[in-house]
Structure 1
Amino acid sequence: MPAGATPQRAEEHGAMANILHARRIDPRVGEWLAQAEAIDEVAKANLRHIRRNFERTAKVPAKLATALAKTTSLAHGVWARARADEDVAAFLPILQEVVDLRKEEAAAVAGNADPYDALLDDYEAGATGAQLAAMFDALRPRLVALRAAILEQPAPAQLNQIFDEAGQLALSHKLALAFGYDVQNGRIDQAVHPFSSGSGLDVRITTRTSAHDPFGCFYSTVHEVGHAAYEQGIDAQHLLTPLGRGVSMGVHESQSRIYENQLGRSRAFTGWLYGQMRDMFGDFGIADEDAFFATVNRVSDGFIRTEADEVQYNLHVLLRFDLERALIAGDLAVGDLEAAWNDRFAADFGFAVDRPSNGVLQDVHWSEGLFGYFPTYSLGNVYAGCLHEALRKAVPDLDSGLAKGDTSQATGWLRDNLQKYGGLRTPVETITHAAGGPPSEGPLLAYLEDKFGAIYGL
């Protein structure tokens, strides 16, 4: 879109939001819901989704919904320019508008409950800020300690050569197929920031390449295949109904993260990937499969959440969760956000933010009003830890297949125990059913400490 088109685009977004809001709160929907009776489990679940969306939307005034759509559309453009110019001050005024509007929306929806919970519920139905804070408070000290212990040890080797784009894309396509991506109902393209979109019979993903870092291409592809496989794996009877999509952002993220990390970065699978890379690129300076496994899982300092390793990724998310929760509660002023970010980053990571694009301006989410979205990234990691523990118990010889590049035992188990149900159950019920117990941070921490303890000799 041309840079100068932002104001017009914002007006269009506002107009569309107003029209859609009116349709979503049509009184006839309320009348139909009052008369509807669920005859089976599927009907009951569909009605749960329809009723939840109708009741939530009805609490938000049309004028507010329109203002939110218009303002966040404008804010995205302002954020992009501010990030490019390293100018936090240029972004703060419109961020204040976004925060004020989202707080107004949260108050309308929450009533006497916690406003942040009302925003979180958009992405993870049933979750509360207090529940997540308790879970994340248990994660943080052990992650900080693990990070510190790792960084005291010698670092594994890094890749140090050019990897041609065509070879990266060819191997990333092979990886997508290895993880069960159905290219008859999906496609793979390139983008600056990888993403997955669509559902059912039309699911599309993107990846990216970097001449010096083929892992960015390979693991972005596997990550997005995890999202896509969830959508492709949902039972066909649920397509084009409220149950025909992933049930929540946290559950969705559990699929992308277990594909990418517990499976894709495992010792067994990286042994196979090492051979594939040597076939594609020749000798690239890593001596053997064990050394390659360490290189793939290398822990190093960095500012950027999306580039972080497994050990440090959640620390990035927890920082954002605490800050945005404080913003919505009114405990943190927008004008103090950059200083609060920089202080927290230094405390968790041990070094200072060097510029805003590596700090408070690095993510697009707040410009788009997505408060309550960030914690679902770490919640997805917690869910993935629980699922991985259950998967290993159910398929004790899992590594024998992974070592051959065959993920079918793992992806089949995930499809049969989680993916095919779509939105049939609530998020917590979905994970509990698949993992055999309620979500807990324990399995994720045990997995990280065992894996990285072995790699770094802790």
Structure 2
Amino acid sequence: MSAYADLRAHLRQTAALAEVAGRLGWDQQTVMPRGANDQRAEEMAALEDVLHARRTDPRLGELLEQADAPDAVGDAILREARRDYARNTSVPARLASELARVTALAQTAWEEARAGDDVAAFLPWLEQVVALRREEGQAIAKGGDAYDALMQDYEPGSDAAQVAAIFDRMRPRLVALRDRILGAPTPPALQGHFPAEGQMRLAHDLARRFGYDFNRGRIDLAVHPFSSGSGSDVRITTRVAEDDPFNCLYSTLHEVGHATYEQNIAPDYALTPLGHGVSMGVHESQSRIYENQLGRSRAFTGWLFGAMQAEFGTLNIDSPDAFHAAVNRVHKGYIRTESDEVQYNLHIMLRFDLERALIAGSLAPRDLEEAWNTRFAADFGYPVDRPANGVLQDVHWSVGLFGYFPTYALGNIYAGCLNAALRRDCPDLDAQLAAGDLTLATDWLADKVQRHGGLRPSVETIAHACDGTLPDETALLAYLDEKFGAIYGL
């Protein structure tokens, strides 16, 4: 047992240092002065040097060989720690440090390029990030597919061929549903001026109702909303557009889904390999079910309609049903994070194919904008109007998150399965949602998914919550057909 105890101590300190690195990233995207960027890049690279040394320490390898798990939790800790050690020892320290430094600089370059619609200014940084991540993927893959290797950082056990097959099954149904919807009368959109202060008051209220613990978190503003941290320090960000309150409110709900997952993990798992969400797909299942199946449901939007009137006065939408239709309005647009549920996965499919090509080397970064614009016009039927609405809209590639995008679609699939199970188990759910009470739903998710952290692999986590049923896209597609068929009278 002494090897296991020594292993736990080593992992705990490494995890604590990783949380410090995460806080540096949060600070960079929220309150850091712009002039500090170059120094911050050096700080993050230095900390990554320390983390990489701990994660690849030969003594850690010896402990992993010697340690015996005392129970099922210990078995899971060893499983995850051994997987991480194999991955980390495949990556040279120089490469890990350089990735931390370059992505810190590239993120700020992306923010400036996005603000100025200047693809050329971001291109040199993108080329560096792609080259470094390709090198990393090749090192981890050891002769296998580099993109598949990178996917393991976000959805262990998945691969690109598996995801592509799922997308091939989903795409015809989604396109057919979208086309039927766009052929029907379009409900009115919410219009008006919604002051930032009122949006943020309502965002804080929504976060509390959905279970976010402000004693262990906070909400700030960022260019691209995100959640950061674990355990007793989990922070979220949102953004505000005074002509579009749904952007703020539903971005907040999305990030609250991520954050409550982290806050609700069993305290005994803190600073262990089980002390965070098991995969980004499962993480996205929480953010998407909070945002969509709960937050955009007819029952909850009926309550939100009253809350919006109380905060902003008379709206141009005059009934709960019309408000529900406005919240779920399917419309033409460019931005993934502002997309409706029907078209969202089509945005993911575009990015998945392009980033696979970038890592494979069949698409050069200099040709990415043209490839994006061509694919977008083919998939959505209209041209991209500006780079900020096209290839520059997402932060992910600037910070090296290649292999991350498919987890959004997997999260939608998992959320569809969880929603079906939740409604079977909680037949009175809509009555609570209509009162603005999320307790029944959030307690169910905390018990079935969130408290377990990384105890089980991702597919097993969802199956466990759904009485053993393995997840697939069937429940999601049925939910979309039923919901939007009712809204649009299809």
TM-score, scaled to structure 2: 0.89
CA deviation after TM superposition for structure 1 residue 5, in Å: 4.8
Choose 286-295 or 181-190, whichever is displaced more: 181-190
Q: Which shows bigger deviation, 249-258 or 169-178?
A: 169-178
- Whole-angstrom distance in 2 between the partners of 1:399 and 1:103: 47
Task: Tell me which residue corresponds to 2:229.
Answer: 198
Aligned counterpart in structure 2 of residue 151 of structure 1, from 159, 162, 182: 182
Residue 2 to residue 177, structure 1, CA distance change in 2 (3 Å) = closer
Q: Could you tell me which residue of structure 2 aligns to residue 422 of structure 1?
A: 453
Amino acid at match of 1:353: V
C-alpha deviation, 1:92, in angstroms: 2.5
Quick check: 1:443 aligned with 2:472? no
> Once the 2 structures are TM-superposed, how far is the Cα of residue 4 of structure 1 from its aligned partner?
5.5
> CA 1:208–1:183 in 2, change beyond 3 Å: closer, same or farther?
same
Residue equivalent to 1:160: 191
Partner of 1:139: 170
The answer to whether the Cα contact below 8 Å between 2:127 and 2:365 also exists between their aligned partners in 1 is yes
How does 1:54-133 map onto structure 2 within 5 Å? 54-133=85-164
Matched to 2:485, the amino acid is G
Letter in 1 for 2:389: N
Letter aligned with residue 144 of structure 2: A
Shift of 1:296: 0.8
Of 352, 377, 385 in structure 2, the residue corresponding to residue 354 of structure 1 is: 385
1:324 alignment counterpart: 355
- In structure 1, give the amino acid aligned to 2:330: V
Which residue does 1:35 correspond to in 2?
Answer: 66
Q: 2:208 aligned to 152, 177, 197, which one?
A: 177
What's the secondary structure of 1:347's corresponding residue?
helix
- Specify the SS of the correspondent of 2:241: coil
How far the C-alpha of 1:359 sits from its partner, in A, is: 1.0
Which secondary structure state, in structure 2, belongs to the residue aligned with residue 125 of structure 1?
A: coil
Deviates more, 1:255-264 or 1:137-146: 137-146
Distance 1:414 1:344 in 2: 37
Distance in 2 (CA, whole Å) between partners of 1:228 and 1:257 is 12
Distance 1:397 1:240 in 2: 37
The alpha-carbon deviation at position 37 of structure 1 amounts to 0.7
Give 1:234's aligned amino acid: I
SS of match in other structure, 1:299: coil
Alpha-carbon distance between aligned partners in 2 of 1:365 and 1:42, rounded to the nearest angstrom: 33
In structure 1, distance between residues paired with 2:49 and 2:312: 53
Q: Which deviations, in whole Å up to 9, do the C-alpha atoms of 1:114-134 show, x marking residues without a partner?
A: 211110001111111111111
Secondary structure of 2:79's aligned partner: helix
Aligned length in residues: 458
Counterpart contact for 2:224–2:395, Cα < 8 Å? no
Report the CA distance between 1:25 and its aligned residue: 0.8
Q: Quote the Cα distance in structure 2 between the aligned partners of 1:404 and 1:33.
A: 51
Alpha-carbon distance change, 283 to 126 in structure 1, aligned in 2, over 3 angstroms: same
Distance 2:100 2:353 in 1: 25
Say if 2:322 is the partner of 1:291: yes
CA distance in 2, matches of 1:193, 1:101: 23
Task: Structure 1: give runs of 5+ residues left out of the alignment.
Answer: none
Q: Distance in 2 between matches of 1:283 and 1:355?
A: 34
Q: Which of the residues 284, 293, 299 maps onto 1:253?
A: 284
The 2-side partners of 1:200 and 1:16 are apart by 21
Superposed displacement of residue 142, structure 1 = 1.6
**Deviation by residue 1:118-164 (Cα, 9 ceiling, x = unmatched):** 10001111111111111111122221222222112221111222223
Which residue in 2 is equivalent to 1:406? 437
RMSD: 1.7
Note the residue ranges of structure 2 that are not aligned, 5 or more in a row: 1-31
Tell whether 2:488 aligns with 1:456.
Answer: yes
Change (3 A) 1:258 1:111: same
Give the CA deviation at 1:165: 2.9
Structure-1 residue corresponding to 2:84: 53
Residues 1:449 and 1:83: Cα distance change in structure 2 (over 3 Å): same
Q: Which residue of 199, 212, 219 maps to 1:188?
A: 219
Deviations 1:168-219 (A, max 9, x none): 2222222122212222332333334332222222222233332222222221
Deviations for 1:20-65, whole angstroms, at most 9, x for unmatched residues?
2122111100011110011211001111121111111101111222
Q: Is the 8 A contact 2:90 2:140 kept in 1?
A: yes
More divergent stretch after superposition (269-278 vs 187-196): 187-196
Q: Which residue is 2:395 aligned to?
A: 364
Q: What amino acid maps onto 1:84 in structure 2?
A: A
Alignment partners' CA distance in 1, 2:73 and 2:459? 17
Mean CA deviation greater in 105-114 or 14-23: 14-23
Q: Which residue of 2 aligns with 1:267?
A: 298
**Cα distance between partner residues in 2 of 1:192 and 1:82:** 12
Residue 6 of structure 2 aligns with which residue? none
Equivalence map 1:8-27=2 (5 Å)? 8-27=39-58
Cα offset, 1:10, TM superposition: 3.3
Single out whichever of 110-119 and 421-430 deviates more from structure 2.
110-119
Distance 1:275 1:5, change over 3 A: closer
In percent, how many aligned pairs have the same letter?
65
Q: Match of 1:453, as an amino acid?
A: G
SS at match of 2:354: helix
Q: Which residue of 1 aligns with 2:404?
A: 373
Aligned to 2:413: 382
TM-score of the pair, normalised by structure 1: 0.96
Rate the CA distance shift 1:424–1:73 in 2: closer, same or farther, 3 A: same
Structure 2 counterpart of 1:224, from 227, 239, 255? 255
DSSP-derived class of the 1:204 partner: strand
Cα 1:370–1:216 change in 2 (3 A) is same
Measure how far apart 1:7 and its partner are: 4.1
Amino acid at match of 1:442: T
- Of 90-99 and 219-228, more deviation after overlay is shown by 90-99
Compute the displacement of 1:375 (Å): 1.0
